[in-house]
Amino acid sequence: MPIANKDVTWVEEPEIGFWEATFLPAIFAGLKTTVRHVTHFQPVTEQFPEEKPTLPLHYRGVHRLNRDDQGRVKCVACMMCATACPARCITIEGAQAPWEDRDKYPSSFVIDELRCIYCGMCEEACPVDAIEMTHLYDLTGFSREEMIFDKEKLLGVFDQTKDSGRDPVRTQRGRLGPASDFEGLPALAPATSVRGDDRSARSVTAGVIQGTAVMESSWEQINEKIEKK
């Protein structure tokens, strides 16, 4: 499609006069800016560490492992945080939980704080709000080993920050977290509509993700067909 001449804006190179060619106006403009900053000095530098900065509420600092209402670690060793971590700094070893209300718990939970990039992916991936990031930023150590936080140290960060006012426990529902309310998968509508003459419309699920009971009945039908053959 041809472009009309009225739709084109032609830009021509400006002509440089004698004074512009000497660069003196640009030099004087720079000196004017410098003098204005000197005469109207308004420092914005925070005198750290004498002055502590006020960090935003969504600041991502040192991790912590939350406790439940009985003082136990909330983590259920699902490995979702370690899977989502792009830095591969989380190592978890799961074991049979000694409590009747859950199946697993972490016998070992280690985070390498020096390798972590503090992206917050672990916090987003956790289904039970067991791992959270706090406002603690002044993390120091005399060796690399001191910067590797195990389960006890992460639980200690929780004990230190839970009553600080800036790091409340963000679990709002469920005994362990939002995912602890689920007893089965609810039926979900398909992402795209399925036409009646389509072959997938004649299937058992018809493009719908069914719950546990429906899936079990589907497997029973499949097993019956196999036995008949």
What confidence tens digit (pLDDT) does each residue in 95-139 have? 999 998 889 999 999 999 999 999 999 999 999 889 999 999 988
Q: What is the pLDDT of residue 168?
A: 75
**Residues near 150 by Cβ (< 8 Å), separated by ≥ 6?**
108, 109, 110
Query: Where do the H-state alpha helices sit in 104-150?
Result: 121-125
- Say what the pLDDT of residue 208 is: 44
208 and 188 in contact (C-beta within 8 Å)?
A: yes
Predicted pLDDT at 222: 59
Q: What is the pTM of this model?
A: 0.59
Q: How is residue 82 written in tokens?
A: 């370690």
CB 134 within 8 Å of CB 161: yes
Identify whether the C-beta of residue 200 lies closer than 8 Å to the C-beta of residue 194.
Answer: yes
Q: What are the tokens at 43?
A: 């420092």
**pLDDT at res. 142:** 92
Q: Which of 58, 63, 69 is nearest to 157 (CA)?
A: 63
Strand partners, 143: none
Q: How far apart are CA 24 and CA 207, in angstroms?
A: 73
Per-residue pLDDT of the chain (229 residues; tens, 9 = 90+): 666 777 788 888 888 888 888 999 999 999 999 998 888 888 788 888 888 888 887 889 999 999 988 999 999 999 999 999 999 999 999 999 999 888 999 999 999 999 999 999 999 999 988 999 999 998 888 999 999 999 999 999 999 998 887 777 765 555 666 556 655 655 545 444 555 665 555 655 444 444 444 444 555 665 676 666 5
What does each C-alpha distance from 33 to 21, 23, 171 come to in angstroms? Answer: 21, 16, 51
Calpha distance 95→91 (Å, rounded): 13
For residue 206, what pLDDT is reported? 44
User: Which CATH architecture describes the domain 63-168?
Assistant: 2-Layer Sandwich (3.30)
pLDDT at position 166 is: 79
Q: Which of 74, 107, 103, 82 lies closest to 93, judged by CA?
A: 107
